[in-house]
Amino acid sequence: MSHQAYKFRIYPNKDQQAFIHQTHGHCRFVYNHFLALWNTSYEEEGKGLNRSIMSKMLTKLKKQEDTAWLRNADSVALQASYENLIDAFQRFFQKQNNYPRFKSKKNPVQSYTTKNTNNNIAIVGNQMKLPKLGLVKFAKSRDIEGRILKATIKYNASGTFYVSVQCEVPDFKPLPQTNEAVGIDLGIPDFAILSTGRKVDNQRFTKKMEQKLKREQRKLSRRYEQAKKEGRNLRACMNYQKQRRRVARLRERVAFQREDFLNKLSTALIRHYDVICIENLNTKGMLKNHKLAKAIADVSWSEFVTKLKYKAKWLDRKIVEIDRFFPSSQLCHACGHRDGKKPLAIRVWTCSSCGTTLDRDINASKNILIEGLRLLKQQP
């Protein structure tokens, strides 16, 4: 069995919206409360809290008069809050992320997770049944398959609500073999250059929206300065909040466009090729180049590779990662002669040994393919 998530936009009524915001606050309180206790326990005793201790303490919190309001929230969502804290510390000790921080109500994205017990999460026509919320209208863009495990309700900065439903589904049937392999060279002028000679255009979603975003952000800055000058609380400034949501919607649209592009491209590649060879790029290091940081962030190479990997795992395809220091742009794919590094302005590769002339990026993708197939043969 595998796990698959389905994301939908939901349209809660005013009472349901109020309960969602309230649950976000309750879960944030539980997370911050136990994080503070964890820090204190570690300073005094040299160890943190465990799941059993936090479970008992949460029960006591619900019985206390000053925190009795916790009983109004979804109990499973409150339990998920300290489970998230445990997971955050485990990732920290494994050096996967930084030390857990306190959650803020000013964070533009708020979410909580609840589990499916006694069929309290289900699809009823064009509505979704959620714990404590009842039936909520949602945009049913596709049918849900498998057994529903849990749901995450999220509120975005744009003022929209989404639900992500995780389901347990049978393993996907492997796609029929195509006996085809491809090397991919990721770039900025062209998003992906295939060893077949095909070039996938870089859509530049952020750049297309840049002028409109700048205009709307200037309006937001002016309204911020005006509110600050008058000494008003930003949460009470309706014009500021309206403009903030408008900017967030523009950014959300860019994110959705990029997500759609990456999903379609990765799915098409997985369907057409049995083996996909790709470079293991140091994206974080490349983002330190301030001249290229915006362009690199816009293309989302790391997200594209992530999608390729999990789809390949689902559908029994192979992804071969080439070492980032492999000189793919310095070798001749025809004879293997190394000419050394050439200026980026030179976009046509000419081998000084055999005289082969080819587009620089296509030559690099062919070298990536050759190296990937070599590594694949060495695998047990």
- Supply the residues annotated as catalytic: 185, 279, 361
Structural tokens at position 25 = 């606050």
d(CA 163, CA 152): 5
> Quick one: how far is CA 166 from the chain centroid?
15
- The three-class DSSP label of residue 170 is coil
d(CA 100, CA 87): 10
Residue type at position 38: W
Q: Count the neighbouring beta carbons within 10 Å of the beta carbon of residue 199.
A: 18
Spatial neighbors of 95 by CB under 8 A, at least 6 apart, are none
In b/e form, how buried is each residue of 11-32, taking b as 16+ CB within 10 angstroms? ebeeebbebbeebbebbbbbbb
User: What are φ and ψ of residue 203, in 5° steps?
Assistant: -70, -25
Alpha carbon distance 105, 82 (integer Å): 17
